[in-house]
Amino acid sequence: MIRVYRALLLAQLQVAAQYRLSMFLYLLFSIMRPVIFLAAWSAVALARGGSVNGFTPADFAAYYVILTVVQHLVTAWNQYDFELQVRMGQLSPRLVRPLDPIHYAIAENIIWKSFTFVGILPVLAVIVITYGVQFHFALWQIALFIPSLLLAASLQFLISWAIASSAFWTTRTHAVSSLFDRTSFIFAGQIAPLSLLPGVLQQVAYVLPFGYIFGVPTDILRGGHDLPTSLVLMSGQAVWVAIAFVASRIVWRFGVRAYTAVGA
């Protein structure tokens, strides 16, 4: 398996090297969104005389800087790509290879995320300077952040894979994917830190998987939770990863049988 992955990663690296410019243009998106809501929340904080429930503009900036990093490393986009592969029949040659197509997607995620990560750093530096952010990380926060980030990335990836696999029946999953993205836009901590969401919305965020995707790792690193709460939230992440894993396997198993190879 290690040899297989080395080959897959190398191939993806070569693809990534071809599309350098367009990749950095797409980064604009992952940077713009957090800046928009950071600016809005800072304006609200200033209007209230300096803070919203303990969040000063610098705290919001710290939150959104970390959120941008988390979002960048966690977000999977395979469902968009996969729809095209099913619709165009490009998936067929991959299915006859002795390797589950999910591994191609995993390798692709690892390479593209790390490759483009460099690109967002300068912009984040500008935000840090503009808003005078100061980070204070306790050692346990960093220690928990990394596994929490990995859980979040797995969760997002598995959900996107399950949605992608539904393309075997529906061929077009674009609308479903964007619906999911829009819902997570509210509940995952993008328009507001989860603790600032009004009551019901906050409960929805923690009951459904959304909050565990971006909000939980961000809050752990930012210091929004104490140690016991963080551990509870991380077990929540683990539960959802398990559910998403089983679901994505089931959808895949049945989906492949329904696949009729469009265009073949």
Partner 1 sequence: MRRYLRIVLLFARLEAQFELAYRTNFVFDLLQQVVITATSLGAVLILFSYTETMNGWTLPAMIVVVGVFYIVQGIGDLVFLPSAQQLIEQVRLGTLDFVLLKPLDAQFFVSLRRIKFTAIVEIALGVGIVAVGFAKLGTLDLLAGLLFLITLACGVVLVYVLLLVLGTLAFWFVRVENLLVVYEAFTDAARFPIDIYPFWLRFAMSSVVPVGIAVTVPAQAVSGRLDGLGVAAILAATVGAVAFGRWFWKTGLRSYTGASA
Contacting residues toward partner 1, per CB under 8 A: 21-22, 25-26, 28-29, 32-33, 35-37, 39-44, 46-48, 52-53, 126, 130-131, 172, 175, 178-179, 182-183, 185-186, 191-192, 196-198, 201
Shortest Cβ 169–partner 1 spacing (Å): 13
Q: 249-257 long-range contacts, Cβ below 8 Å, gap at least 24? A: 251/162, 251/165, 251/166, 252/102, 252/161, 252/162, 252/165, 255/165, 255/166, 255/167, 255/168, 255/169, 256/95, 256/168
Amino acid identity, residue 76?
A
Shortest Cβ 232–partner 1 spacing (Å): 25
Nearest CB to partner 1, comparing residues 42 and 109 = 42
Which residues fall within 8 angstroms of residue 223, CB to CB, at 6 or more apart?
136, 137, 138, 141
DSSP assignment of 232-245 equals: HHHHHHHHHHHHHH
Nearest CB to partner 1, comparing residues 72 and 107 = 72
With tokens 């198993």, the residue in question is 253
Shortest Cβ 107–partner 1 spacing (Å): 23
The phi, psi pair for 87, rounded to 5°, reads: -65, -40
Nearest CB to partner 1, comparing residues 184 and 230 = 184
Shortest Cβ 40–partner 1 spacing (Å): 5
Rounded Cα distance between 116 and 215, Å, is 21
What ranges make up the beta strands (E) of 50-198?
Answer: none
CA angle 70/74/77 to nearest 5° reads 135
Least Cα distance to 216 among 61, 78, 63 occurs for 63
Nearest CB to partner 1, comparing residues 27 and 238 = 27
Nearest CB to partner 1, comparing residues 124 and 192 = 192
Shortest Cβ 120–partner 1 spacing (Å): 13
Shortest Cβ 210–partner 1 spacing (Å): 13
Nearest CB to partner 1, comparing residues 199 and 228 = 199
